[in-house]
A and B are shown apart, each in its own frame.
Chain A
Amino acid sequence: MASGDDEAGLVRRAKAGEAEAFGALVLAHQQFVYNLAWRAVGNEQEAEDLAQEAFVRAWQALPNFRGQSQFRTWLYRIVTNLCYNRLPRLRRDLAALGVAEAADLPDAPETNPAVEAEASELRAWLHRAIDELPEGYRMLVMLRFQQGLPYEEIAGILSLPLGTVKTGLFRARARLRQALSALEETAA
């Protein structure tokens, strides 16, 4: 992905109408944009169409981008709004999370080599469990853990209160923990 300075330059050139600069931004962000759409709609073709539409809309709206947020935040918000339009239930489900358990999750902990070595099968199983989480949880997980975004930025992207973002991530983690616990009890 382009570094901050490079990206600011690309955005400036794209705003001036340089399609090549926008093409570089597309290449830098296409993987995450596609994955965000795919985790939301759960269908490869629809995700590609949605990602394509998001980039076209970003290009058209670029003159109105004033740099008050990062380009990625602005772009992901476009993707999210398209997902909300495609799945109106998604916005309702996320908003319904409320702020009941708004606990901060710890930041990404130090990698433990022992856990890394032992856990490849378990990790694959848990990845499948993440796939089975509701779409809203999957989007939260993507933004927080794959993109490493702070809670405030995620709240801005998803147009949700900060507490709802924290609650959603807390519950996503709790569900995985519960599923893992059930798996261990079954195996025992």
Chain B
Amino acid sequence: MSTLPHRERAMDAAVDDALRTYPLRPAPASLAPRVMARLRALPAPPRFRLAWIDYALCLLATLMAAVALTFWRFVTPEALQRAQERLIVFLQHAGLATPRPEFPLALAAIGLAAALLLLGVGVWRNSS
């Protein structure tokens, strides 16, 4: 129970009441028409707009793809075999067993595909 005297409580109630009932003025009738007139006067926005982060991610994905393609041209079957073996050794060292030798490369490919898919979804959502 409150120990405030009656006068104090009445004052608090009056202040609370005034705060809650502080009136809003009506917006001027000309505001919305002026806004819409300004919008109509603006040049038409481009149909496909991206934020800077989308451009950055696209650039990164393109660079990754370019590096992968360039690298792939110089990969011999022996080098690929060595890379697989090293990856398997690394995974075993990290305590991750690999049931098949293709597994690590498949995992990397799935990861890359998922990253590119996420990027695509992000760009599509932003532009729609």
Question: Does residue B108 face the partner (Cβ distance < 8 Å to A)?
Answer: no
Produce 1/0 per residue, A114-146, CB < 8 A to B.
Answer: 011001001100110110000000000110111
Q: Could you tell me the distance between the alpha carbons of A22 and B11 in the complex, rounded to whole angstroms?
A: 43
The answer to whether A130 and B18 touch across the interface, beta carbons within 8 angstroms, is yes
Q: Could you tell me the distance between the alpha carbons of A15 and B19 in the complex, rounded to whole angstroms?
A: 36
The answer to whether B28 and A34 touch across the interface, beta carbons within 8 angstroms, is yes
- A38, A59, A141: which contacts B19 (Cβ < 8 A)? A141
- Give the contact stretch, choosing among B35-43, B58-66, B74-82, B96-104: B35-43
- B15, B27, B128: which contacts A34 (Cβ < 8 A)? B27
The answer to whether A64 and B14 touch across the interface, beta carbons within 8 angstroms, is no
- A16, A23, A38, A181: which contacts B36 (Cβ < 8 A)? A23
Interface of B (DSSP majority class): helix
Q: Could you tell me the distance between the alpha carbons of A115 and B9 in the complex, rounded to whole angstroms?
A: 11
Q: Which residues of A contact B20 (CB under 8 A)?
A: 108, 145
Count of residues in B whose CB is under 8 Å from the partner chain:
36
Q: Could you tell me the distance between the alpha carbons of A144 and B38 in the complex, rounded to whole angstroms?
A: 31
Q: Which residues of B contact A64 (CB under 8 A)?
A: 51
The answer to whether A16 and B128 touch across the interface, beta carbons within 8 angstroms, is yes
Q: Could you tell me the distance between the alpha carbons of A22 and B38 in the complex, rounded to whole angstroms?
A: 13
Question: Does residue A27 face the partner (Cβ distance < 8 Å to B)?
Answer: yes
Interface of A (DSSP majority class): helix
Question: Does residue A153 face the partner (Cβ distance < 8 Å to B)?
Answer: no
Q: Which residues of A contact B13 (CB under 8 A)?
A: 109, 112, 115
Closest chain A CB from B67 CB (angstroms)? 30
Produce 1/0 per residue, B1-45, CB < 8 A to A.
Answer: 000000100111111111111111111101110111011101001
Chain B positions near chain A (C-beta within 8 angstroms): 7, 10-28, 30-32, 34-36, 38-40, 42, 45, 47, 49, 51, 126, 128
Chain A positions near chain B (C-beta within 8 angstroms): 16-17, 19, 22-23, 26-27, 30-35, 38, 44, 48, 51-52, 55-56, 59-60, 63-64, 66, 106, 108-109, 111-112, 115-116, 119, 122-123, 126-127, 129-130, 141-142, 144-146, 173, 176-177, 180-181, 184
Please give me the 6 A-B residue pairs with the lowest Cβ-Cβ distance, nearest first. A126-B18, A30-B27, A34-B27, A55-B35, A145-B19, A31-B27
